[in-house]
Amino acid sequence: MLLLEERYLQKNGQGASIETPDQLFRRVARHISSVENKKKDHWENCFYNLMAKMEFLPNSPTLMNAGLPKGQLSACFVLPINDSLDDIFTTLKNAALVHQSGGGTGYNFSRIRPKNDTISTSGGKSSGPIAFMKVYDAATEHVKQGGKRRGANMGILNVDHPDIAQFVIAKLDGNSLQNFNISVGITDHFMKAMINTEKWELINPRTGQSERTIEAKELWDSLIHAAWKTGDPGLIFLDTINAHNPLFRQGRIQSTNPCGEVPLFDYESCNLGSINLAKIVGLGSKPSNINWDKLKLLVQMGIRFLDNVIQCNHYLLPEVAEMALKNRKIGLGVMGWAELLIQLEIPYASKEAVQLAEKLMRFIQETSFNASCNIAKEKGCYPAWEESIHYPNLHLRNATCNSIAPTGSISIIANTSYSIEPLYALAFKRTGVLGTKTQQVLHPIVKDKLTQLGHWNNAIQDQILETGSIREVESIPDHIKKLFETSLEIPWKYHLEHQRAFQKYTDNAVSKTINLPSSTSASDISEIYRTAWEFGLKGITIYRDGSKANQVLQKCGAI
């Protein structure tokens, strides 16, 4: 509740909270149900209960701003970057407004002409996309979202842009672009050229002409080295994204939001929400029992909640309002996956877990589409429906329904594990987002489950607090240790298998970090990136332990 207190509850001029968590959930529920024509009170109570019981939470801006004057409720935006100073600085201003309201922004910088290209108006030389990204980075640094959190950006450059070689190493100095996740926009064509060690053409976006030819494998190796060193760049697989673009008649998607879970057109936004899977274990049942009826209900209400957000949102820009109301994209996802697995006594690194991931997400997707369809019957299909792949058979209220977001803040509020990630550590020091407070935290599920299994005492607690793991606790049998394997102990293949299982039934995308021990080699990373493409993932992000100076999460004993 510390996080709610610090960042979500409304404050007075002196910084004291003027609402309780209960009042916050009531404020949000009332606002989100205000757009219902019938049974407003019923929906208000449903939404309130969802949040108060921590069974579902919407993304942070909705929790913070719903019910406040001019409350901006969306987490994710993509804004256009065109090759003119006017457009670049218009979008910069718009991005600042989005950040101030708690949203994050993604952009593809590939339309900007390369560095040292000609500028006809001044006769000078152009600065290139990386220089403009640095301008965006500096601006982000100074818009601190009312002291609550730093803004987040995704910066993409396509693999055929002439400045791509500089882009892939743009964060190597450990200093630049710290407010950006950077990703290379990869095509299938490039992956084949890289695998076959062929040449690769770089195209000037201003002229559409080939500027020079490089070795695809050399670019890949440089990219991999940078990712090994710093975690950046990640990849986004543009062809995979566009093969599944339900609105391909509106054009080709070029970008995602900051953490990658929502591919969006320019000026599109998305509202996210996540179901807490730790809450769906059947009462008094055998461990293998999931309460599917409860999950169904949570999905139905989650979809209705997020669809309402589109209606009662305050839009900062008319272009964003137009796109949001036309396509009505939402992203219902999950958090607490690792915790659910522990409750069910299924190790994360197991086939059984991956199969359950598919079964679960398939159920969530089917239920989401049915729910969206039922809302469409009541309130109408999304306006762009007739130009979508859903037309004419699938009447939907929303062009997309599901995303797996990182749930970086809301899973802390719900006191469960992040998104579909394994536990990062069984005990860890958590530094607040603004670097203020550090807490030593033991993951609650650890004590509960070990107690239930008859393996809890003070000595075990001390050992876990010290090392963040139960690997070294001799009295605990191996099959129980396996249940508590942490992110860095889980082989990367299983990280990817989970991402693939969830992606298979997610119409938007899955945000997942493939956490790796510091001993991971560059060639492992090359294999991971390539496997991600072969698996049909929409993007890939890795993080090698210790490769960034300021990790938000750190294992106990690792500091």
Site residues, ligand ADP (CB under 6 A): 59-60, 75-76, 103-104, 149-152, 257-259, 261, 272, 405-410
- Number of C-beta neighbours around residue 34 at 10 A: 15
Strands 180-186 and 513-516: unpaired
CA distance 344 to 235: 33
Q: Considering the complex, state which of residue 194 and residue 309 has its C-beta at the smaller distance from ligand ADP.
A: 309
Bond preceding residue 69 cis, omega within 30 of 0: no
- Summarize the chain as % helix, strand, coil (round to 5): 40, 15, 40
Q: Which of 153, 257, 308, 508 is catalytic?
A: 257
Q: Considering the complex, state which of residue 152 and residue 219 has its C-beta at the smaller distance from ligand ADP.
A: 152
- Least distance from ligand ADP to the Cβ atom of residue 75, Å: 3
Asked if 261 and 418 touch (Cβ cutoff 8 Å), the reply is no
Asked if 308 and 32 touch (Cβ cutoff 8 Å), the reply is yes
Q: Which of 36, 44, 55, 261 is catalytic?
A: 261
- Least distance from ligand ADP to the Cβ atom of residue 508, Å: 11
CA distance 545 to 494: 17
CA distance 542 to 551: 13
Considering only CA atoms, which of 546, 119, 547, 194 is closest in space to residue 555?
546
Q: Considering the complex, state which of residue 274 and residue 486 has its C-beta at the smaller distance from ligand ADP.
A: 274
Output the six-digit token pair for 42.
Answer: 């019923």
CA distance 346 to 280: 15
- Least distance from ligand ADP to the Cβ atom of residue 120, Å: 36
- Least distance from ligand ADP to the Cβ atom of residue 407, Å: 4
Angle at 185 between CA 181 and CA 186, to 5 degrees: 130
Asked if 20 and 9 touch (Cβ cutoff 8 Å), the reply is yes
Q: Considering the complex, state which of residue 233 and residue 258 has its C-beta at the smaller distance from ligand ADP.
A: 258
- Least distance from ligand ADP to the Cβ atom of residue 306, Å: 12
Q: Which of 46, 259, 270, 401 is catalytic?
A: 259
Give me the helices (H) in 390-434, please. Answer: 410-413
- Least distance from ligand ADP to the Cβ atom of residue 76, Å: 4
Q: Considering the complex, state which of residue 227 and residue 414 has its C-beta at the smaller distance from ligand ADP.
A: 414
CA distance 357 to 190: 31
Q: Considering the complex, state which of residue 298 and residue 476 has its C-beta at the smaller distance from ligand ADP.
A: 298
Q: Considering the complex, state which of residue 56 and residue 228 has its C-beta at the smaller distance from ligand ADP.
A: 56
Beta bridge partners of residue 263, listed in sequence order: 256
Output the six-digit token pair for 98.
Answer: 């989005």
CA distance 241 to 263: 7
Q: Closest-CB residue for ligand ADP?
A: 104
Residue pointed to by tokens 């029992």: 289
Q: Considering the complex, state which of residue 160 and residue 339 has its C-beta at the smaller distance from ligand ADP.
A: 339
At 33, the amino acid letter reads S
- Least distance from ligand ADP to the Cβ atom of residue 144, Å: 10
Q: Considering the complex, state which of residue 129 and residue 408 has its C-beta at the smaller distance from ligand ADP.
A: 408
Asked if 553 and 418 touch (Cβ cutoff 8 Å), the reply is no
Bond preceding residue 58 cis, omega within 30 of 0: no
What is the three-class DSSP state of 555?
Answer: strand
CA distance 248 to 228: 34
CA 299 to chain centre: 19
336 torsion bin: left (phi>0), alpha (psi -120 to 50), beta (else):
left
Residue pointed to by tokens 């457009």: 87
- Least distance from ligand ADP to the Cβ atom of residue 7, Å: 9
What is the three-class DSSP state of 539?
Answer: strand
Q: Considering the complex, state which of residue 9 and residue 152 has its C-beta at the smaller distance from ligand ADP.
A: 152
Considering only CA atoms, which of 477, 67, 469 is closest in space to residue 308?
67
At 42, the amino acid letter reads H
Q: Considering the complex, state which of residue 50 and residue 75 has its C-beta at the smaller distance from ligand ADP.
A: 75
Q: Is 261 a catalytic residue?
A: yes
- Least distance from ligand ADP to the Cβ atom of residue 100, Å: 10
Kind plus residue range of the DSSP H or E element containing 87: helix 85-100
- Number of C-beta neighbours around residue 386 at 10 A: 11
- Least distance from ligand ADP to the Cβ atom of residue 462, Å: 31
Catalytic residues: 257, 259, 261
